[in-house]
């Protein structure tokens, strides 16, 4: 998940603090030293970035600074050297305004990633928010003035909880027995409480160095600050949130070590009558394989990139023994020593047989997905081949919500069996209509009209050609609109023609949520436009999104969304 580093650059960060570091291992008595808090923060953040570059190099990280205002120093990037170099160019400014800094985080993340991507926010400060705590207390009991500073202390005006899934980590470069930190702790605890899931219960008293659903307040151990304690604190934070998930994928007698990016984490699922704690497991077992059309697009909790890892030497020996035992390979191996084969395979990772590579190729060619159990209780996911370009594809894992009925139209995954054992479902059809794409007909058709509608098939949760065609028609219409949207302004007329046909069809069925869904898709397309795109493309997409979200009434069906007249229009 992306990470935002929010560093406090107020004047309080230039305060000198006494350290108790023993830099010389041969020196038995530590030598007291002094250092600026800013230097301690830079030292800790460098340790964090070093850990990320080694264990979470695929994650995006951004660097922001704040005082009374906020500024983006480095946008989301994987270049950790750039992030480290930017830490040394930091300047100090005026007073601290935590709420302004958090507003900047909210604006940047929503602009870059939207409201669905999970994000870690690491706020590094000196731990002194006594003024903020005092203003917050005054705002709570109605006393004080109404200037902008105290208005920020109105809890309801805070940008928390963030509109995207997040964890707020507040790193305080102070000690637990510091009086200013104890005074500021209610303010920090309120920030964490506001970012917690509203369905969870926030228990008092607030605990430092304890993980809540909304984040954590981190404080170095010991009665005095030191470079070592700060380094250990940031290392612990990195290990807690960026430790790569390493496990083993099993399919019958075959298995392979894998790593998941981003890390697969346990989560709490709150249902109507119970709360389920989904725990991860290092061993994932493939339960079976299904056609992509049968699975379609189920609701997922998270998505992860699956990468194969190098096998241990013992596993390589087993693979080499199997290869030599095969008569077809015996002649090629000749009298080669087993140790030489093992050494050669260990030195070159590309020569090691990998079940992950075999599985990826098979799923890609056959057009199937693998249903696997990834944790307890009854936590499932699916493995599939995903292509980010025409030439490159990756093995991906999408995790479902906890429960065996995570895919509603398939019902319980525990009841699935071999496809060869299923009884073909016969449905009497009268006046069978040949399948046609919806855009080749005079009107949009998302339902296949029949005189006999097999409701029993849907209630039994069985898939038929009928249900597949319905999804295909709707999906093809949306894809056609997106193809025209990506070719704006050349395809402006075609874009609005298909957009209006789609909108009128949705209004006919009373499918208002589908119109909002299309507006969200077009809004995302507008954000994802490349820098080389024509300026009119963004204007037309924004106009279309606004028109789709207008309130509907009795005359909405006869209204036509017209192209926006711009200065680029001939």
- The pTM of the full predicted model, rounded to 2 decimals, is 0.63
* Secondary element (H or E) of residue 525: helix 512-527
Task: Give the rounded percent of residues in the chain with a pLDDT score beyond 70.
Answer: 75
Asked which of 53-57, 129-133, 188-192, 297-301 is least confident by mean pLDDT, the reply is 129-133
Contacts of 501 (CB under 8 A, 6+ apart): 443, 444, 477
The overall average pLDDT reported for the chain is 78
For 71, counting Cβ atoms within 10 Å of its Cβ (0-12 exposed, 13-18 middle, 19+ buried), the class is middle
In contact, 217 and 190? CB cutoff 8 Å: no
Closest by Cα among 206, 33, 34, 184 to 123: 184
Q: What is the pLDDT of residues 82-118, one digit of tens each?
A: 999 999 888 888 888 888 999 999 999 999 988 888 8
Name the pLDDT band for 409 (thresholds 50, 70, 90): confident
In contact, 404 and 412? CB cutoff 8 Å: yes
Mean pLDDT of 474-484: 86
Looking at domain 3-242, which of 3.40.50.410, 2.60.120.10, 3.40.30.10, 3.30.450.40 is its CATH number? 3.40.50.410
Task: Give the rounded percent of residues in the chain with a pLDDT score beyond 90.
Answer: 18
**Per-residue pLDDT at 276 exceeds 50:** yes
Q: What pLDDT shows up at residue 453?
A: 35
In contact, 163 and 110? CB cutoff 8 Å: yes
| Cα–Cα dist 394/405, whole Å | 27
Mean pLDDT of 262-288: 82
Look up residue 315 and give its DSSP letter.
H
Which two structure tokens, joined as six digits, stand for 481?
């609109």
Name the pLDDT band for 299 (thresholds 50, 70, 90): confident
Place of tokens 């706020």: 123
Task: Please give the CATH number for the structural domain made up of 245-310+352-419.
Answer: 2.40.290.10
Which two structure tokens, joined as six digits, stand for 61?
């990280």
Name the pLDDT band for 455 (thresholds 50, 70, 90): very low
Q: What is the pLDDT of residues 321-334, one digit of tens each?
A: 655 555 555 445 55
In contact, 536 and 488? CB cutoff 8 Å: yes
Which two structure tokens, joined as six digits, stand for 191?
């920030």
Q: What pLDDT shows up at residue 331?
A: 46
Tell me which of 378 and 62 has the higher pLDDT: 62
Name the pLDDT band for 147 (thresholds 50, 70, 90): low
Which alpha helices (DSSP H) does 308-450 contain, by range? 313-325, 327-333, 338-347, 355-366
Place of tokens 């369905």: 199
Which two structure tokens, joined as six digits, stand for 11?
């004047």
Highest mean pLDDT among 5-9, 25-29, 320-324 belongs to 5-9
| Cα–Cα dist 231/51, whole Å | 11
In contact, 60 and 3? CB cutoff 8 Å: yes
Asked which of 47-61, 284-298, 404-418 is least confident by mean pLDDT, the reply is 404-418
Q: What pLDDT shows up at residue 341?
A: 54
Closest by Cα among 570, 563, 569, 557 to 495: 563
Mean pLDDT of 293-310: 85
In contact, 393 and 364? CB cutoff 8 Å: yes
**Per-residue pLDDT at 461 exceeds 60:** no
In contact, 241 and 225? CB cutoff 8 Å: no
In contact, 382 and 400? CB cutoff 8 Å: yes
**Per-residue pLDDT at 320 exceeds 80:** no
Place of tokens 């789609």: 502
Which alpha helices (DSSP H) does 326-447 contain, by range? 327-333, 338-347, 355-366
| Cα–Cα dist 172/175, whole Å | 8
Peptide bond into 558 cis (omega under 30): no
């Amino acid at each position: 998940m992306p990470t935002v580093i929010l560093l406090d650059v107020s004047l309080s960060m230039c305060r000198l603090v006494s350290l108790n570091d023993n830099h010389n291992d041969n020196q038995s008595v530590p030598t007291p030293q002094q250092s600026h808090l800013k230097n301690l923060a830079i030292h800790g953040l460098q340790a964090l970035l070093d850990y990320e570059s080694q264990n979470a190099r695929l994650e995006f990280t951004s660097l922001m600074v704040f005082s009374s205002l906020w500024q983006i120093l480095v946008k989301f990037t994987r270049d950790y050297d750039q992030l480290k170099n930017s830490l040394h160019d930091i300047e100090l400014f005026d007073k601290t305004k935590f709420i302004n800094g958090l507003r900047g985080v909210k604006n940047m993340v929503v602009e870059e990633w939207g409201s669905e991507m999970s994000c870690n926010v690491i706020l590094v400060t000196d731990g002194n928010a006594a003024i903020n705590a005092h203003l917050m207390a005054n705002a709570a009991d109605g006393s004080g003035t109404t200037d902008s500073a105290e208005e920020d202390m109105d809890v309801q005006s805070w940008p928390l909880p963030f509109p995207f899934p997040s964890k707020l980590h507040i790193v305080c470069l102070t000690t637990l027995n510091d009086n200013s930190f104890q005074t500021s702790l209610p303010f920090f605890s309120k920030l964490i409480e506001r970012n917690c899931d509203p369905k969870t219960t926030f228990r008092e008293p607030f605990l430092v160095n304890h993980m809540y659903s909304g984040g954590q307040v981190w404080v170095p151990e010991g009665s005095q600050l030191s470079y070592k304690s700060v380094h250990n604190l940031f290392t612990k934070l990195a290990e807690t949130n960026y430790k790569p998930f390493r496990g083993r994928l099993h399919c019958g007698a075959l298995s392979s070590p894998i790593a998941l990016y981003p890390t697969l984490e346990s989560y709490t699922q709150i249902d109507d009558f119970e709360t389920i704690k989904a725990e991860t497991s290092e061993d994932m077992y493939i339960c079976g394989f299904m056609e992509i059309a049968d699975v379609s697009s189920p609701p997922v909790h998270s998505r992860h990139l699956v990468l194969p890892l190098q096998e241990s030497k013992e596993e390589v020996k087993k693979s080499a023994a199997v290869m030599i035992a095969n008569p077809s390979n015996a002649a090629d191996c000749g009298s080669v020593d087993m140790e030489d084969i093992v050494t050669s395979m260990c030195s070159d990772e590309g020569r090691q047989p990998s079940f992950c590579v075999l599985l990826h190729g098979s799923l890609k060619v056959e057009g199937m997905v693998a249903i696997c159990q990834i944790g307890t209780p009854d936590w499932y996911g699916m493995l599939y081949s995903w292509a980010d370009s025409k030439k490159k594809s990756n093995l991906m894992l999408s995790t479902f919500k906890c429960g065996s009925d995570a895919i509603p139209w398939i019902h319980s995954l525990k009841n699935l069996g071999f496809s060869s054992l299923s009884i073909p479902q016969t449905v009497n059809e009268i006046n069978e209509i040949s399948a046609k794409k919806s855009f080749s007909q005079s009107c949009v058709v998302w339902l296949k009209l029949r005189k006999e509608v097999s409701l029993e098939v849907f209630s039994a949760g069985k898939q038929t050609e009928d249900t597949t065609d319905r999804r295909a028609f709707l999906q093809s219409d949306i894809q056609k609109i997106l193809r025209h949207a990506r070719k704006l302004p050349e395809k402006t007329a075609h874009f609005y023609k298909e957009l209006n046909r789609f909108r009128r069809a949705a209004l006919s069925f009373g499918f208002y949520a589908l119109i909002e869904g299309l507006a969200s898709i077009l809004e995302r397309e507008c954000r994802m436009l490349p820098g080389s795109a024509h300026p009119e493309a963004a204007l037309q997409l924004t106009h279309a999104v606004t028109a789709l979200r207008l309130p509907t009434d009795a005359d909405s069906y006869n209204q036509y969304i017209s192209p926006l007249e711009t200065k680029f229009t001939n």
